[in-house]
Amino acid sequence: MMQKRKRVALVANKNKPAACQRAAETAAWLAERAEVVGVIADAESDLAALRPDLVVVFGGDGTVLNAAARLGECEAPMLTVHLGRLGYLAEVQPADLRPALERALAGHFRLSRRMRLVAVIKREGDEVWRGIAINEFALLTGQPGRAAHFEVLVDDRPLTRFAADGVIVATATGSTAYSLSAGGPILNPELRAMLLVPICPHHLANRPLVLGDGETLRVRHLEDTSVPLAADGHRVRPIARNESILIRPAAKDLCLIVAEASGRYDILRQKLGWGG
């Protein structure tokens, strides 16, 4: 029986001509080896609707995050081609792309499963918005030096109230992004954990907290004015006083194809300047 050809979607950053060119060349090379279901250069298309068996992303971490968000909870493996600056998510160097694709098409690869977060905004018990993030959700006052008051509950049991410039709820993958800049710990990206990180809290007792993947956070903003919500660095909508946001692990993971000998700690050493 002839093996079914895999459905492959290629995603590039339209603002990077080299990425678009590489995607077009790869699509031509793949034509005899797989079913190319799209070469996507915009930042809005619904990638899950393409029903891909494999997604190849050309660009840096921003392009990867955007593509992952547009996959929704689709678990199609993602092969990331490093065409940006030093990052954490882009895995394959351009020179190694075709051998990596041949292995991926043959099913010979290692997956790194990354927990994602789902956020639901509720107003008087009714859901008014839902979104997904790979790195983090963040509530930000947007005004340095102007603190807001937040209340956090875990599984609807009160945890803390604090005044801060904002609050971040991050994944282990996002522990090396905004959360790290706000003083959060670095986690192995495959850990199934959530990070609660206050941004510039007014009391030293409010420290970053690591929570398990079976828990649900509810964050309430206690001010009369609204505060913006951001997902993976992009503002999505304001949160009003009469609204709360529930954040929990997504049902499906982001699946990244990685090298057998992962260099994630090498990237950390370079990025953070460890070892001189």
CA–CA separation, 127 and 7 (whole Å):
35
Exposed / middle / buried, residue 199 (Cβ in 10 Å: 0-12, 13-18, 19+): buried
Element (H, E) at 118: strand 117-123
SS3 at position 113: strand
DSSP state of 246: E
Catalytic-labelled residue, pool 42, 53, 61, 165? 61
Exposed / middle / buried, residue 160 (Cβ in 10 Å: 0-12, 13-18, 19+): middle
Tell me, yes or no, if 126 is annotated catalytic.
Answer: no
> Phi first, then psi: what are they for 252, rounded to 5°?
-115, 145
The end-to-end CA distance of the chain, in Å, is: 56
Rg (CA), the chain: 20
CA–CA separation, 38 and 17 (whole Å):
17
DSSP state of 214: T
**Residues labelled catalytic:** 61
